[in-house]
Amino acid sequence: MTNGRAAAPPPGGRLRLCIVGSGWRFTSGISYYTCLLANALAEQHQVSVIPMRQLLPRRLYPGWRRVGQPRAQVTYSPEVRVSAGVNWWWGRSMARALRFLAAGRPEVIVLEWWTAAVLHSYLLLAAAGRLAGARLVLEVHELQDTGEGRIAPVRRYGQWGLRLLLALCHGCVLHSAADRDALLARHQPRGTRLAIAPHGPFDQYKLDAGPREGQGLALPAARPGEVSLLFFGTIRPYKGLEDLLRVFNGLAPDEAAGLRLTVIGETWEGCTEPGRLIEASPYRDRITFVNDYVPDDVVAAAFSRADVVVLPYRRSSSSGPLHVAMSWGLPVVVSRVGGLPEAAAGYAGAVFTEPGDTGALRSAIRQAIALAGRRFTDPRRWEESGQALLTAAGLGGAGPPGTGQAGAEETCASRRPATPSWNDAAAPGLSSIRQS
């Protein structure tokens, strides 16, 4: 990885780690996260991945029209073993995943949590891992997806499932103290070791290249004397894009004349108000709107041409677009909400604003425009994630269970676990089945 290496292995050598996360068929930010984390950890450990392939019935997915279409250019390192993946209805896919797990005999299994759609699969894989003696770590990207939280049965199912997974796991990694505090207040996990690590750097867009085109899409660069603003990411009610558009539409003509705005994102949850505001804008000719989950070359083109990134979220645990912006070294306007202040801590190009406050957002954009042309250093490193995973698994320095205080003495001795007993006694039937 270009921005930091994975944590050094504990005494005794390389660990066998298995990461269970999002696959590429339903590409999302967690798909990139799973891949980049696996590649970083593979620099120090033996790493395998079980992707959630067919995440849920296709028509239930907000971006169902693009399911299965290639979006990512980043790939898993040759050192990372990747299974064929698990489908939501299981069938042969779960049997293959269990064989893959048994053949790899992981000492630590990391479950990436971002949606209740994976719960039933995670419970079975977690149970198989526990029976075999592996240590389980749950990495929580957000306690509950906002779309799922709007549907009462799904909300309750997700809350119940997360509580059950926490009970099964030895440790949990979160991206901020804000998320940790919310987890403790909502679920009150007992005996679960907590660790905090910021989201790792999203530096996968060939940062050494200059401005480029993206699959024939017209992404205009700012003209001399103009500043290019960029909003990037799925368009959902909590993203606050409406606030940005109301600020932009309300600018005086002489101020708007010096700006261009590019909005790139796929509409979810019926969030059509941003599209209406764009079409009604008095500065429509200064707005480029790409309503799609775009391929990586388009992402690279957009960020290479941007001067300032604007992310006026109304709520958020973490943000992939924020970490992309920091990897490019761009000035970024970001809301002071949830885990975002911690995510951008130490980044000199961050200008904070208050969520839902258009006056504060207007002021923050003006401050960020004054930074246009400068480049800043991304403080995030994947080694933070690697160390947090080891801490949560009980293999590194940590505070008492439930504190997340890295470096403090543990309540139980930190040591590498005995090699998991992937045998008939621990996991009936697993050892006799060969790797798929």
- pLDDT given for residue 280 in this prediction: 96
Domain boundaries, the chain: 16-200+382-392, 227-369
Which three-class secondary structure state does DSSP give residue 283? coil
- pLDDT given for residue 408 in this prediction: 30
Q: pTM value?
A: 0.86
The gap from C-alpha 45 to its chain's centroid, in whole angstroms, comes to: 22
pLDDT digits over 274-321, tens only?
Answer: 999 999 999 999 999 999 999 999 999 999 999 999 999 998 888 999
Give every CB contact of residue 60 below 8 A, 6+ residues apart in sequence.
none
Amino acid, single-letter form, for residue 21: G
Q: Decide if 16-200+382-392 and 227-369 have a common fold.
A: yes
Indicate the fold that domain 16-200+382-392 takes in CATH: Rossmann fold (3.40.50)
Q: Token pair for residue 50? A: 């079980």
- pLDDT given for residue 209 in this prediction: 46
- pLDDT given for residue 8 in this prediction: 46
Phi, psi dihedrals of residue 323, rounded to the nearest 5°: -75, -30
pLDDT digits over 214-265, tens only?
Answer: 454 667 666 778 999 999 999 999 999 999 999 999 999 999 999 999 999 9
Pair 45, 17: CB distance under 8 Å: yes
Helices and strands of the chain, counted as H and E runs = 14, 13
- What average pLDDT does this structure show over 114-137? 96
* Beta carbons within 10 angstroms of residue 356's beta carbon: 16
- Of the candidates 244, 275, 282, 264, the residue with the CA atom closest to the CA atom of residue 365: 244
- Our CA angle for 18, 22, 23, nearest 5°, is 95
Indicate the fold that domain 227-369 takes in CATH: Rossmann fold (3.40.50)
